[in-house]
Amino acid sequence: MVSAAATPDGRQYVLTLGCPDRPGIIAAITSFIAEFGGSIVEAGYHSDLETGWFFTRQSIKASTVPFGVEELRSRFERVAADLGPETEWQVHDSGVRRRAVLLVSKEGHCLHDLLGRATSGELPATIEAVIGNHLDLAAITEAHGIPFHHVPFPRDPSERGPAFERVRELVDSHSPDAVVLARFMQVLPERLCEHWAGRAINIHHSFLPSFVGARPYHQAFVRGVKLIGATCHYVTAELDAGPIIEQDVIRVDHADSVTDMVREGRDIERVVLARGLRWHLESRVLVHGRRTVVFS
């Protein structure tokens, strides 16, 4: 089992909130925190003029809060109620280790990267298990002391229901905060997209919304694009159309073959997935409809 190093001195209670914008929201939140002597060590705000929605992320130094996180949540309920019935909020205790389960197929570059980041303490989560529909990545997973579960998938898509159900059972047994499709080359059925909504994260090897679906590097080569990229996004029932967490690109030119694009694109995929997953685990991503606010 691999986990990032604990940082007890840096423990924080992270409050995230979204609600219809109106005067007094910031004052209500900061006054609430000031009443018990809480120290805000990081704060982010965004007011979306198009939707009329307000978003914030507040990190409170845990040692300055004279009670536990459950009481903090209980007390903040009154503040949230005063802000209106549409208010969406959470409080995350950074001292509680978050959990992730990775889904893979044959390509291992994203898996290798996440295992390395977890081992070095860069990933704020424990990788509880890796589930693959092929055995190619079992050895590297088990070399890190992490269980690898092989769930074979039949060739006929209409017969994959039992395999997806087995994957669900394995994932849910770990109650993960993130279900990471680290180049898992299977399309999740709608029921799993809904079941893991807000937790299932995918890395797509193109700069979405361009080149949705399979073989995006081949599509990019045919179109003669000069930029290729990668997109980390939440998984929804609409293929490669979930709320976007992070993206990046690199430049290519007419001399690059499809093989060149695939090789160069893997570097972007690694970085983009690692960033997006980290921001999700640190409660830096607020989802509103099809869009995200990311306090990176």
Positions marked active-site: 240
Helix (H) or strand (E) holding 164: helix 161-172
**Which two tokens mark 246?**
């992070």
Q: Please answer whether residues 111 and 130 qualify as being in contact, where contact means their C-beta atoms are separated by less than 8 angstroms.
A: yes
Cβ 232 vs Cβ 245: under 8 Å? yes
Helices and strands, number each (H, E), in the chain: 8, 14
Cβ–Cβ < 8 Å for 114, 273: yes
Beta strand residue intervals within 94-215, DSSP E: 98-104, 125-132, 148-150, 178-181, 200-204
